[in-house]
Structure 1
Amino acid sequence: MKRIINTTLIVIAPIFVTAQSKYQYAMDREVFNVCAMIFTVGLFMIFILSIINRIMDYRLKNKIVEKGIPENLVSSILQTSPKENRNINIKWFSLLMGISLGLLIVYNTLPLGIHSLAIIAFCVATSFLGYYFFLKQSEK
C-alpha cells in the first residue's frame, strides 16, 4: 500500500512544482453557462423521473389493494431492498467523481476536441467499474 501511495505522489509531484502557472486564463463564461445548463437540465430530469416513479408505485399499490391480492404475495411484490437504498449515495459519488476527474483532465489537456469526449467517457466508465467492484466487495 505504501508503494502505491509513494508512486502516486511521485507521479503527481511535477504538477504541483511547476515554476510557471498554466492556469492564468479563467474559464470562459459561455463554457460555464453551458455546463450549468446541462447540470440544471439533468437535475430537473431526475426530479421528473422520481416523481413519475412515485406516482406509478402509488397506482400499483392502489390496484393491488383493489384486487384483494393475498398479503404474502403483496409483501413479496412491494418489498424494497434496503441494500439498494444504502448504495445509491456511493453510486452518485462514484459517478460525480468520474465526471469531475474527466473534466479536470480535459481542462489540463486543452484544446478541446474529440479526445475530450473520449477522456470523459473513459473516466465515467472507470467510475462505474469502481462502483461495480465496490458492490462485489460489499456482497462478501
Structure 2
Amino acid sequence: MNLASFQAFAQDKQIEGTGTEFIQPLDQDLPSEVLLPILFILFLVFVIINLIKYFLEYRIKNKLIDRGMAEQLSAYLLDKNVQEKQDEVVKLAIIFFGVGLGLLLTYLTSPINLHSLAIIAFCLGLSYLAYFFYLRK
C-alpha cells in the first residue's frame, strides 16, 4: 500500500452493521467547510472592488489635470476628508465585530443549520444599525 492510499483512508471510521462492515468518512467541521470559503470570497471581492476604485479615481484625477484643472483642486474634489476616513474605519470595525459576534454565537449553538445563517444575518444587521446610530450622533 503506497502513501497516497494510506492517506486516503486515514480519515475514515468503520461502522459495524448487521454482519457487513462499511466505511463512512468522518463528518468534517461545517464552519471551516462552509464559512471559510465564504469569508475568503468576501475578502477577495473587497480587495478587487478597492483596486478598481483606486484605479478609476486615478484615471479621473489624470483626466481632470489634462483638461487644465489644478492638481490641488482635483485632489480636493476626489480625496476624502479626515472625518469621512474615520467614519469608514469605524464602519468596518463595527461590521467586523458584528460578523465575529455572529460567528461566535453560531459556534456556541452547536448544530450548524439554517438558524446559523439567521444568527449571522441578525448580528450583521445589528452592526449596520449600530453604524447608523454612530453616524447620527
Query: Alignment identity in percent?
Result: 34
On the 8 A contact 2:30/2:112 being kept in 1, the answer is: no
Gaps of 5+ in 1: 1-26
Task: Give the TM-score normalised by the residue count of structure 2.
Answer: 0.67
SS in 2 for 1:110: coil
Per the TM alignment, residue 126 of structure 1 is displaced from its structure 2 partner at its CA by: 0.5
Per the TM alignment, residue 30 of structure 1 is displaced from its structure 2 partner at its CA by: 4.9
Q: How many residues align?
A: 111
Q: 5 Å matches for 1:14-93?
A: 28-69=28-69, 74=74, 77-93=77-93
Gaps of 5+ in 2: 1-26
Larger Rg: 2
Q: What is the aligned partner in structure 2 of residue 96 from structure 1?
A: 96
Per the TM alignment, residue 56 of structure 1 is displaced from its structure 2 partner at its CA by: 0.4
Q: What is the aligned partner in structure 2 of residue 9 from structure 1?
A: none
Per the TM alignment, residue 94 of structure 1 is displaced from its structure 2 partner at its CA by: 0.9
SS in 2 for 1:105: helix
Task: Give the TM-score normalised by the residue count of structure 1.
Answer: 0.65
Q: Tell me which protein shows more strand as a share of its residues.
A: 2
Going from structure 1 to structure 2, the CA distance change for 1:88 and 1:73 (only over 3 Å counts) comes to closer
CA distance in 1, matches of 2:98, 2:31: 19
| Aligned-residue RMSD, C-alpha | 2.5
CA distance in 1, matches of 2:30, 2:108: 18
